[in-house]
Structure 1
C-alpha cells in the first residue's frame, strides 16, 4: 500500500506535463471543502485547450478538481497499461485507444470519438522559401521534424502521408524525431528545424510559425481524438460526468476556438 501511495504522488506531481487545475483559479467558493480530483491523461496537442476547458469545468462544478497529465498518446497508453491512476484518457490516435480496449482496460460503453483535427506542414513565420511538401526536397531545407511515428499519432499520420507522396525515403537524411507535437512546434518556432508537421490546432496557437500546407485527408488515416473512462477509475460517476461535459456546448465552443473540429453525437 505504501508503494502504491508513493507511485500516485510521483505520478501526479513529478511527471512533466501534469497540470493541477487549482493553479489556474484560486478562488474556491467551497470554503475549505476538499474537491474530488480527477486525473485526465490527454494527448500533448490538447494541453492549451483542455487547460481552458478545465478552468470552466471547475468554475461550473466546484466539487471537482481536474488534474491533467499531458504527453504523447503512446506514452500515456503505456502508463495506463502499467497501472497508473488515471480516470479519463483522451488520445490523439485511434490505435492507442484500440489497444487499451482490447486489453480490457477501458470502462465498457464509455468510449467516444470526441474531436477531429488536420495535419499541416509549418515553417518559420519569415521563411519564404517553403510553399508546400513539394519544396521539402530543396537543398535549402536541412531539417524536417515530426513526432516519433511509433508513439506520436501526428508522427504516424506524417509517415503515412509522406509514404503516399513518395517522399518518405527521399527525406530520411533530413528527418528529426520529436517526443510529441509540442516539441515539433518548438523546434520550428526556435529555428532549429526548417519545417515540421503538427496539427492545425497547434499551428493556430503560435505566432512564430505559419502553415504552408494543409495535407489532404486522404493521405493519412482520419485524425480522431477518442476519449474513454479508464476501467480502474475510483471515481466512475465523476469521470463519466466529465466526459459528458466535454461533449457539451461550453466545451465544444472552446474546442472550436482552439482550432479543433467537434463531432456531433450520432456521427
Structure 2
C-alpha cells in the first residue's frame, strides 16, 4: 500500500470518527444544569453539586439570592431549569411545574461569641442591643423570624433592636464578626458558623409557618435528561446524607 493511499485512508477514518463522535460531544457540552437558589442554601447545594459532578458528566451552574431575586432571575432567563427554596414562596411565582421536597427548614437564633441565649425571650435582655434578621418580606427566614416574634408577643419590645439584612448569610456574617449580638438564620447557617459564634438555639416549629424546602422544575425543562439525572440523584442515600449534614430534616 502506497504512502498516499495510507494517508487518504487515515483521513477518511478520522472524518468518519469525528462525524460519529460529534453528536455525543455536543450532547455532553449541552448537559449543563442551571439552578437558582435561596442564598441560605448555598452550602448544601454546593456540596450536592460537588458530589453530583463526581458521579456524572453533567455540569451544574448555580446562582443565589433572596426569593424575589430568584424570581427575577428566572423570569429574565429561560435557561434556569430549577428553583430551590421554600415551596410557599416558589408556588405563587408560577414558574415551576413540578416540585420535589428536600426537607423541612429550621429557624435558628444565633448569638455572638461571649454571649449565651437560652431562647427567644432572652432577646429582651439589655445585653442584647442589636438583632439581625433577613429581609422580612422577600426572605423565607426573615418572614419566619417575624412570625415567631409575633407569636411570643415580642415585636414591640424588640422593634428598636432589629437590623434587617438582605439574606441569611449576611445575618450570619454580622453575628460572626460581632456587629450584632444575635440573629435569625436557618439551621444550615447556624451549623456552618458553629466555630465562629457563641452558639445557637433552635426555635419551635409551631411559632412560624412550616418551611418546606423544595426543588421546582420549570415547565420547559421537565423532560430534560440532565434535570432527570439531578432529581434522581437527590433521592440517593448520598444526597440525603448531605442534606441531613446541613440541617435539612427529612419530612
Taking structure 2 as the reference length, the TM-score comes to 0.83
Q: Could you say what secondary structure the match of 1:34 adopts?
A: helix
C-alpha displacement of 1:82:
3.5
C-alpha displacement of 1:157:
0.4
* Partners of 1:234 and 1:122 in 2: CA distance: 38
Q: Could you say what secondary structure the match of 1:251 adopts?
A: helix
Asked if residue 220 in structure 1 is aligned to residue 214 in structure 2, the reply is no
Matches for 1:1-267 after TM superposition, within 5 Å: 34=29, 36-62=31-57, 64-91=58-85, 93-101=86-94, 105-107=95-97, 110-128=98-116, 130-206=117-193, 207-233=195-221, 236-263=224-251
Paired residues of 2:130 and 2:180 also in contact (CA < 8 A): yes
**CA separation of 1:83 and 1:232: change in aligned 2, threshold 3 A:** farther
Q: Could you say what secondary structure the match of 2:103 adopts?
A: strand
Structure 1 residues 26-58: Cα deviation after superposition (integer angstroms, max 9, x where no partner): xxxx9xx63621111111121111111111111
What does residue 12 of structure 2 align with? none
* Partners of 1:74 and 1:247 in 2: CA distance: 28
Q: How many positions carry a matched residue from both structures?
A: 224
* Partners of 1:210 and 1:219 in 2: CA distance: 23
Paired residues of 1:228 and 1:243 also in contact (CA < 8 A): no
Paired residues of 1:37 and 1:65 also in contact (CA < 8 A): yes
Paired residues of 1:201 and 1:259 also in contact (CA < 8 A): yes
Structure 2: give runs of 5+ residues left out of the alignment: 1-24
- Report the more deviating stretch, 35-44 or 160-169: 35-44
Q: Could you say what secondary structure the match of 2:243 adopts?
A: helix
The structure that has the greater radius of gyration is 2
* Partners of 1:212 and 1:47 in 2: CA distance: 20
- Report the more deviating stretch, 173-182 or 222-231: 222-231
Taking structure 1 as the reference length, the TM-score comes to 0.78
Paired residues of 2:112 and 2:178 also in contact (CA < 8 A): yes
Structure 1 residues 158-212: Cα deviation after superposition (integer angstroms, max 9, x where no partner): 0000001101122111111111100010000000010001111211111112444
Paired residues of 1:143 and 1:194 also in contact (CA < 8 A): yes
Q: More helix by proportion, 1 or 2?
A: 2
